């Protein structure tokens, strides 16, 4: 939406006049934001850790060792061992895979379906829009985590169901963002032009409406991944998400809870890992929003 303005010729300043894509402009502004760059660096490191987990993890995350139960952090086990003698560092490294995977897929589900709902509502307007938005109100009327719990409860606990539950509970926010953009775009000349040359509605939505909603969707998704990771971890913590023995941060925290007194590191490190990822994503998302819409920055 706002990216449009960026391509307009501004005051002549010599070389800058070269035509650059709006995304390049965004990147230029983003680079100046140190906090956002730090957040991005953390995210990149985490993605690398998740991809190369088998290489990076010092031990097998599921290898139990009854002789080394509940060991405090040491040279051999940098983050200690759990009640089955499994290496916590390796489990946390492997856990990053699940958290990032769940976060991105859940947001993918929410953004795609929410985006479709929002684009259709905003583009067609009228009764259909009204009906779709009331449906979103229904989803919003139930606290997000309660809705996710109910869905997981109905579908059963599995990785896929967890992602579906978290994705559905996030759906309305994407629907609203896309609808708002679609409403502003739909009356503009280029949409009319597309219609005049006989483009179908589906084509107009995909080629004209959606590209103009990308900026808010990207910001919303970045912050959404952070929220999704938190929700998924919360569900696993309640025993309704990823089930043991899979190494997942939320469920590790949950099983470490009973050893809080004697082995606090079992709850400390997984929680720290979740916090770092979510914090990095939020900082990056904030920076991205500022650079996509400089008017918002104060």
Partner 1 sequence: MLRYFIKRLMFLVPVLLGVSVLIFSIVHLAPGDPAEVMLGPSATQEEISNLREQLGLTKPLYVQYGIFLTNTLKGDLGRSIKSNAPVVEEILDRFPATLTLAVLGMIFAIVVGLPLGILAALRQNTWVDALCSFFALVGFSIPNFWVGLMLMLLLSIYIPILPSSGFDSWRNFIMPTIVLGIQTMAVIARMTRSSMLEVIRQDYVRTARAKGISDRLVLVRHILGNVMIPVVTIAGLYFGNMLGGVVITETIFSIPGLGRLIVDAIRAQDYPVVQGGVLFFALCVGIVNLMVDLLYAALDPRIKAQYRAAR
Residues engaged in binding partner 1 (CB under 8 A):
134-135, 137-139, 141-147, 149-156, 226, 230, 233-234, 237-240, 250, 253, 257, 260-261, 264, 267-268, 271-272, 274-275, 278-279, 282-283, 286, 298
Q: How far is the CB of 119 from partner 1 (least distance, A)?
A: 21
Q: How far is the CB of 66 from partner 1 (least distance, A)?
A: 26
Q: How far is the CB of 275 from partner 1 (least distance, A)?
A: 4
Determine the longest span between alpha carbons in the chain, in angstroms: 76
Cβ-based nearer residue to partner 1, 191 or 265: 265
Q: How far is the CB of 124 from partner 1 (least distance, A)?
A: 20
Q: How far is the CB of 140 from partner 1 (least distance, A)?
A: 8
Buried b / exposed e along 21-60 (16+ C-beta atoms within 10 A): eeeebbeebbeebeebeebbebbeebeebbeebeeebebe
Tokens at 53, concatenated: 């987990």
Q: Is the dihedral of CA 142, 148, 153, 156 positive or negative?
A: positive
Cβ-based nearer residue to partner 1, 167 or 209: 167
Report which secondary-structure segment, H or E, holds 131. helix 126-141
Cβ-based nearer residue to partner 1, 45 or 155: 155
Cβ-based nearer residue to partner 1, 103 or 212: 103
Distances from the Cα of 11 to the Cαs of 7, 17, 129, in angstroms?
12, 9, 41
For residue 86, give the nearest of 109, 61, 106 by alpha carbon. 61
Give the bridge partners for 81, in sequence order.
Answer: 87
Say if residues 123 and 182 touch (Cβ distance below 8 Å).
yes
Q: How far is the CB of 25 from partner 1 (least distance, A)?
A: 23
For residue 285, give the nearest of 213, 221, 212 by alpha carbon. 221
Q: How far is the CB of 67 from partner 1 (least distance, A)?
A: 27
Cβ-based nearer residue to partner 1, 191 or 274: 274
Q: Which residues contact 241 (CB under 8 A, 6 or more apart)?
A: 152, 157, 162, 232, 233, 234, 235, 248, 250, 251
Cβ-based nearer residue to partner 1, 173 or 186: 173
Distances from the Cα of 39 to the Cαs of 206, 253, 276, in angstroms?
31, 24, 9
Q: How far is the CB of 197 from partner 1 (least distance, A)?
A: 40
Say if residues 250 and 257 touch (Cβ distance below 8 Å).
no
DSSP 66: G
Query: By three-state DSSP, how is residue 207 classified?
Result: helix
């Amino acid at each position: 939406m706002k990216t449009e303005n960026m391509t307009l010729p501004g005051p002549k300043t010599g070389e800058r006049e070269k035509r650059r894509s709006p995304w390049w402009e965004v990147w230029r502004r983003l680079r100046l934001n140190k906090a956002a760059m730090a957040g991005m660096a953390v995210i990149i490191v985490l993605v690398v850790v998740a991809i190369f987990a088998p290489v990076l993890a010092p031990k097998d995350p599921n290898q139990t060792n009854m002789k080394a139960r509940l060991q405090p952090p040491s040279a051999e086990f940098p983050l200690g061992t759990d009640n089955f003698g499994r290496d916590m560092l390796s489990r946390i490294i492997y856990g990053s895979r699940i958290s990032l995977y769940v976060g991105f897929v859940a947001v993918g589900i929410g953004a795609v379906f929410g985006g479709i709902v929002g684009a259709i509502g905003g583009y067609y307007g009228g009764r259909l829009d009204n009906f779709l938005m009331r449906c979103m109100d229904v989803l919003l009327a139930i606290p997000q985590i309660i809705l996710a719990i109910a869905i997981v409860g109905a579908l059963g606990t599995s990785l896929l169901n967890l992602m579906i539950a978290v994705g559905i509970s996030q759906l309305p926010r994407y629907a609203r963002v896309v609808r708002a953009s679609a409403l502003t775009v739909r009356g503009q000349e280029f949409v009319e032009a597309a219609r005049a040359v006989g483009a179908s509605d589906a084509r107009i939505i995909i080629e004209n409406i959606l590209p103009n909603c990308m900026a808010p969707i990207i910001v919303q998704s970045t912050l959404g991944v952070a929220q999704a990771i938190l929700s998924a971890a919360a569900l696993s913590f309640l025993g309704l998400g990823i089930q043991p023995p899979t190494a997942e941060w939320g469920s590790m925290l949950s099983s470490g809870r009973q050893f809080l007194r004697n082995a606090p590191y079992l709850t400390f490190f997984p929680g720290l890992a979740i916090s770092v990822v979510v914090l990095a994503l939020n900082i990056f998302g904030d920076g991205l929003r500022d650079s996509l819409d400089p008017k918002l920055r104060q």
